[in-house]
Amino acid sequence: MEAFRNALEDCQLVDVGYTGNWFTWERGNLPETNIRERLDRGVANVHWMSMFPETNIQHLVHSTSDHCPLLITTTKEEKRKRWETFRFKAWWLMEETFETEVQSIWESASGDLIQKLEYLKSGLGKWASRIGRLRNWKKKYLTSKLAAVMEAERTDDNLAELIDTKLQLNFEIDKDESYWEQRARVNWLRLGDRNTAFFYSVTTQKRRQNCIHKLQDPDGRSTDVQQEMAEIAKNYFQSLFKAKERGHFEHILTGVNRCISEEDNRCLVRPFIKEEIWEALTSMGATKAPGEDGLPTIFFQKLWHIFGNEVSSFCIQQLNRGMEVTRLNTTHIVLIPKKYIQPTFHTFDQSVYAMSFTK
């Protein structure tokens, strides 16, 4: 099996995944002799996966063979429109005009911190759209220019132009790698791996694995219809988070001994200071799990000199004065499949991502 995995890696093939029973082969009519294995699977390279990103392989029911048939579908019949949300891209930091753009938008914004950040996100979205089109053109231009320079006869001027063109093109490629590293949420890039295709394959495979193909309602009825799955999810979380009557815990707390000294308590209840805000910010992962606002930690870390004082003051007011947090208290509930088979909500790990300020 190890040799088979190595062969897949050498050919740059990844497992396409599946829905249905976990096994594709079964033999033995008695419990003590019954054997089930996943012997059949679909694999593809990065190029094929990019052409058919919604591919799904279903393990069908079988009765005439030890092996089950595999049904491959390259497109979904029903596709629900997703809302476009703002997401900061790490490669923006590599653009020469980025910091100037942020400074300009921030200085022209009005209102409190939340309102100014919303205004900033709107402005950055428009800027990113313009700069993205320019970057695509620039990569094509530099690629064609490099091909022409490499064909020319070598002179001092030619070599200087060759080096300069390579540097410019590599810088644009670095932006692509930064983007896909952020999407893949792995750290191998800074450890020496500069393979954009690798990060793309990780991202594609993760997106496919996190796709919910089918859900089962409390009555045991399964469905793969988007609207029906959404209704099952809504009912599940409404029931899960519905307020329940609280019991009396006084008798339980009587058995809990106090273990916090007066000195420890003074340290715990003392007012927060601005230095602690920056310390907490720098201890967080730069691009890991951005909040509902779409702004990862690296955004605040790199641009702290522009709005750090306002952010710190806002956080101190929230922490020390106990101000209203309704506008901050927004979260995304993310369902992460524990395995390929996802019939009920019990087979999901549930992670909650809050706004950056809530963190």
Contacts of 205 (CB under 8 A, 6+ apart): 14, 15, 17, 49
| 263 within some domain | yes
Q: For residue 74, is pLDDT > 90?
A: no
Instruction: Say whether both 136 and 200 belong to one domain.
Output: yes
Instruction: Say whether both 237 and 201 belong to one domain.
Output: no
Distances (CA, A) of 63 to 24, 34, 67, 250: 12, 15, 9, 60
| 81 within some domain | no
State the chain's maximal CA–CA distance in angstroms.
89
Which one of 94-98, 177-181, 190-194, 252-256 scores highest in mean pLDDT? 94-98
Kindly state the percentage of the chain with pLDDT values over 90.
15
Instruction: Say whether both 41 and 104 belong to one domain.
Output: no
Question: What mean pLDDT is predicted for residues 300-307?
Answer: 92
Parent domain of 329 = 215-243+251-354
Q: For residue 123, is pLDDT > 90?
A: yes
Question: What mean pLDDT is predicted for residues 29-53?
Answer: 85
| 335 within some domain | yes
Place of tokens 């599946």: 18
Query: Helix H segments across the chain?
Result: 2-10, 46-51, 98-108, 113-151, 156-184, 196-209, 226-240, 250-253, 262-269, 274-282, 297-302, 304-321
| 80 within some domain | no
| 255 within some domain | yes
Instruction: Say whether both 320 and 305 belong to one domain.
Output: yes
| 51 within some domain | yes
Tens of pLDDT along 240-265?
A: 777 666 667 777 777 788 888 888 99
Name the pTM for this structure. 0.55
Q: Which residue did the predictor score with more confidence, 62 or 317? A: 317
* Number of residues assigned to the chain: 359
- What pLDDT does 284 receive? 85
Look at the chain and report how many structural domains it folds into. 3
CB 108 within 8 A of CB 124: no
Instruction: Say whether both 42 and 117 belong to one domain.
Output: no
- What pLDDT does 276 receive? 92
Instruction: Say whether both 134 and 69 belong to one domain.
Output: no
Number of other residues whose CB lies within 10 A of the CB of residue 133: 10
Instruction: Say whether both 95 and 47 belong to one domain.
Output: no
